[in-house]
Structure 1
Amino acid sequence: MSALSLANINFLAILVSFVVVCAAVITLRRFTEWRAKQTLSDELAQRDNFALGISYASQVAVVCISIAFLFEEISLHTAQQRPLRVILLIGLFFTFIFIGQLIHRKWILHRFNEEHAILKQNICAAMVDSGMLLANCIIVLGLYRWVHPQGVSNLLIVTLAFFLLQGIFALDSKLRESRFARFNQGASLQDNFNFANTSIGIRYAGKTIGLALALYAGLGSAPYVDAKLVDNLFALLSHCSAMWLILYSGTFILKHLSLPKVDIGLEVDHQDNIGVACLEFAVFCAIGYLLISMFSL
């Protein structure tokens, strides 16, 4: 779709996209209130539940980002000619994101009840949950741009690729848990989320979003051949694995150049140093975006 400008403005396109965003946000608000069993105004303004506010803000951001991405990829003419396809794409986008969030909550972090912790005003839980939500949004956008699915065979490849990437997320999380236990006398990372250590949540979210950006770069560099299931999945796995390794190599170097004499693990794990955690968040996101700039644009 050609870019809009003041000399070439399409008010209908703006109106349609804004109406879709508003409808999606209203649906999201109703669903969030149903899960919280009270209105958001009471929970956010009266109880000052910052954790729920962070979680809700990330959900609104995901809705807006996804719909904006689709309206950039699909022309208004196409939407007018094939409105059911656009509705189906929006539904599939949010379905994949929801499934990814469900996998994260019920499998990857199965010992930690994020929803319950967020309602208990645990900001660490909100950061962990929001990070994975944004990461899944990035992955779904990357998969769409990689395949541009037009039929059932493409959708099958997208689905299998999505679960393959979820496996990378799970493996990465297990390696982080193993490292945390090794440097903290066998302590469980998931159990520590319940202690509301905000810096741990920020670091976890940063690593998750950074990994998603790296995988997006892998999707951008991996070749796609229509209807070649095995070839596509092998290419995806090899490219995304390479980006995963480059991500951690780059962040290791950049962290030590940024804070050469600081024990980042000690500051984050034991002293709840939010400043150091934010630095680690920024480093992972920066390297992830750098990989996108180099490999997928």
Structure 2
Amino acid sequence: MNTLIEITALNQDLLTYLAIDLLIAIILLGTMRFVSGLSAKVNTTEELAKEDNFAFGISVAGSVAALGIVLTGAITGETATSYLFEAIGMLAYGTFGLILIKIGRIFHDKLALNQLDKNALIKEKNLSIGVVDAAGAIATAIIIRAVLLWVDGLDLSTFIAITSGFIVSQAILVIVTRLKERQYAKNNQDDSLQEALSQGQLAIAIRYAGQMISTALAVTAASYFFSYSPETLVVNLLGWLIFGLVMTVLVAILTSLAKRIILWGINLVEEVDQQHNIGVASIEMAISISIALILTALMA
């Protein structure tokens, strides 16, 4: 046992820090379930266990996963100067991340998918909307995590930076949604992407979820090229926006090329948009996320 402790560099202080972080993380993850219930104005126990609302369950799962992603950004691998400061930092970043995830959901509802009432549709057990809602939360969390890792310290300027990065990310996600709407309308005789989602077309929701998450991954690549500094925050965030848009376009081009090769001989519009082929849509989602992950890793 002593040899294992020596090899892994574990000690009582480090174990205490880990215990503090894990305890706060579990508390926050549990809180997210009830926050989701409050925002949807439902009893989570009844909705999940009695009503068997799978759409709500998927939505909550996305929120919990999103908070878990954010919390990995709050734990940078370096311990604080004291147990109290470690707890304060973890709790502050975690709570702030939880709030931003929920604000991001509002942004997504009011700006990106502004023609839908997601809460009402999720209550009606619309699986497509549950998937889209979960993907939106995860996409937001991926970018918040990147900003948390990008900033340094625990003061007002770091929270301003996190908030600003969050706003930039939401702007990019809205832009991508509008472009996907135009593409869908072009391929489907001016039909509405949002209307298709409201009708429960799960295949389209899965593909859209992949596009959202891959966009978020593309935007995070900017953190490797801009150094955090409170004095140049505005310039850096403008750089994040421009670089994020460039990376989003690059990921979209490479993803389109990869789909043509991997799904050779398959008419994607016919299979996903018209025949609602969930299998093909899932492959599209996997390709989108894979290309974004690979490109982001190369940039790092």
TM-score, scaled to structure 1: 0.89
Which of 137, 140, 145 aligns to 1:133? It is: 137
Counterpart in the other structure of 1:227: 231
1:142 aligned to 2:146? yes
Counterpart in the other structure of 1:123: 127
Residue aligned with 2:76, SS: helix
What is the identity, as a one-letter code, of the residue corresponding to 1:260? Answer: W
Counterpart in the other structure of 1:295: 299
CA contact (8 A) 2:55 2:125 kept: yes
Counterpart in the other structure of 1:238: 242
CA contact (8 A) 1:143 1:158 kept: yes
1:109 aligned to 2:118? no
Alignment of 1:48-59 (within 5 A): 48-59=52-63
Which of 11, 18, 24 aligns to 2:22? It is: 18
In 2: Cα distance, 1:33 partner to 1:4 partner: 45
CA contact (8 A) 1:193 1:201 kept: yes
CA contact (8 A) 2:203 2:281 kept: yes
**CA drift at 1:254:** 0.6
**CA drift at 1:78:** 4.7
In 1: Cα distance, 2:41 partner to 2:166 partner: 32
1:92 aligned to 2:91? no
In 2: Cα distance, 1:259 partner to 1:48 partner: 35
In 1: Cα distance, 2:269 partner to 2:78 partner: 45
What's the CA shift string for 1:221-262, capped at 9, x where partnerless? 334444113421332233212211210111011101111111
CA contact (8 A) 2:218 2:244 kept: yes
Alignment of 1:258-297 (within 5 A): 258-296=262-300
CA contact (8 A) 2:172 2:241 kept: no
In 1: Cα distance, 2:60 partner to 2:46 partner: 14
Residue aligned with 2:125, SS: coil
CA contact (8 A) 1:177 1:189 kept: yes
What is the identity, as a one-letter code, of the residue corresponding to 2:76? Answer: E
Which of 249, 256, 267 aligns to 2:253? It is: 249
**CA drift at 1:35:** 4.7
Q: Cα 1:79–1:189, aligned 2, differ >3 Å: closer, same or farther?
A: farther
CA contact (8 A) 1:79 1:86 kept: no
Residue aligned with 1:186, SS: coil
**CA drift at 1:57:** 1.2
CA contact (8 A) 2:55 2:126 kept: yes
CA contact (8 A) 2:67 2:101 kept: no
Counterpart in the other structure of 1:8: 10
For structure 1, the 5+ residue unaligned runs are none
CA contact (8 A) 2:129 2:205 kept: yes
CA contact (8 A) 1:206 1:281 kept: yes
What is the identity, as a one-letter code, of the residue corresponding to 2:10? Answer: N
Identity of aligned residues (%): 28
Aligned length: 294
Q: Cα 1:258–1:165, aligned 2, differ >3 Å: closer, same or farther?
A: same
For structure 2, the 5+ residue unaligned runs are none
Moved more, 110-119 or 134-143: 110-119
**CA drift at 1:71:** 2.4
What's the CA shift string for 1:129-166, capped at 9, x where partnerless? 11110000001011122222544344434433322222
